[in-house]
Amino acid sequence: MTRIEARFAKLRAEGRKAFVTFVMAGDPDAGTFEAILAGLPAAGADVIEIGMPFTDPMADGPAIQLAGQRALAAGQTMSRTLAMVRKFREGDAETPIVLMGYYNPIYSRGVEKFLAEAVEAGVDGLIVVDLPPEEDDELCLPAQAAGIDFIRLATPTTDDRRLPKVLSNTSGFVYYVSITGITGSASANAEMVAPEVARIKAGTDLPVCVGFGIKTADSAREIAGVADGAVVGSAIVDRIGRGDAPEQVLGFVRELAAGAHG
């Protein structure tokens, strides 16, 4: 059983939903990021997504774009990102870590090398937003063969004909994007999300977590009420971007987690 499978099994046994956080590796600097990352599990994060900074993040809104720019300006690299995961693992052997981003930095490093390093560092899953199912041979299948879950995105425009293809090689969980457009651009609506989650769950036994547009504890509670988990990224990254200290950021995460878990 992978860490992701184990975490969702534990949550099901406890009758709780998952709270998934997103933070950008190295944002705004290595020390601040590592302090936030280390504190996320105690603040209520069940799964942690770590962004891999990239110069052309086409699916991301201003908050996450700026986070990537801050990280790159501070010298963040893929090697540093993997080293940060390795350091996190020294104190936490249970919380799943998912690297999220775009294929270019992985391709540039070399898929085989990247996967070997990711496994050694303690990475549990990948979300690569610009690799469709038609390109599964590129990274999805090699990642799964290496023991890393490949988590696919489904969106409001993923129709019934397309959905089986999207789900075919997905593992870990399914990430449902609650809105059309870029991250942080609108608010999630539980009434609209609920039937979409049900449609996805009819085609898979995997948990379905919902992200994009969740900005408050109340919103996290509403979305978690109709899905297996809620994902919050831009709202957390906004706090980091405005200069909140790690404990302030983690305090906000605790509020969000209480909503999702409630």
Reduced 3-state DSSP string for 218-247: HHHHHHHCCCCEEEECHHHHHHHHCCCCHH
Query: Among 27, 46, 60, 149, which one carries the catalytic annotation?
Result: 60
Instruction: Please confirm, yes or no, whether 49 is among the known catalytic residues.
Output: yes
Query: Among 46, 49, 117, 124, which one carries the catalytic annotation?
Result: 49
pLDDT tens, per residue, the chain with 262 residues? 899 999 999 999 999 999 999 999 999 999 999 999 999 999 999 999 999 999 988 888 899 999 999 999 999 999 999 999 999 999 999 999 999 999 999 999 999 999 999 999 999 999 999 999 999 999 999 999 999 999 999 999 999 999 999 999 999 999 999 976 555 556 778 999 999 999 999 999 999 999 998 999 999 999 999 999 999 999 999 999 999 999 999 999 999 999 999 8
Domain definitions of the chain by residue range: 3-261
Report the distance separating Cα 166 and Cα 228, nearest Å: 18
The answer as to CATH 3.30.505.50 being correct for domain 3-261 is no
Give pTM, 2 decimals: 0.96
Instruction: Please confirm, yes or no, whether 120 is among the known catalytic residues.
Output: no
